[in-house]
Amino acid sequence: IDGKPVAVTPAHTNLGLAIDLPGKDGKRSLVVAAIKNCENMHFGQFIAAYEDIVRRARDGKLTAEDFAGVTISLTNPGTIGTVHS
Inside any domain, residue 10: no
Inside any domain, residue 5: no
Inside any domain, residue 16: no
Inside any domain, residue 56: yes
The burial class, CB within 10 Å (0-12 / 13-18 / 19+), for 71 is: middle
For strand 15-22 and strand 28-35, is the pairing parallel, antiparallel, or unpaired?
A: antiparallel
What does the pLDDT look like over 39-84, one tens digit per residue?
A: 999 999 999 999 999 999 999 999 999 999 999 987 766 666 655 5
Inside any domain, residue 40: yes
Inside any domain, residue 34: yes
Inside any domain, residue 8: no
H helix or E strand, kind and range, residue 58: helix 43-58
pLDDT of residue 63: 97
Domain housing 46 = 24-74
Inside any domain, residue 6: no
* Predicted TM-score of the model (pTM): 0.76
If one counts the domains in the chain, the total is: 1
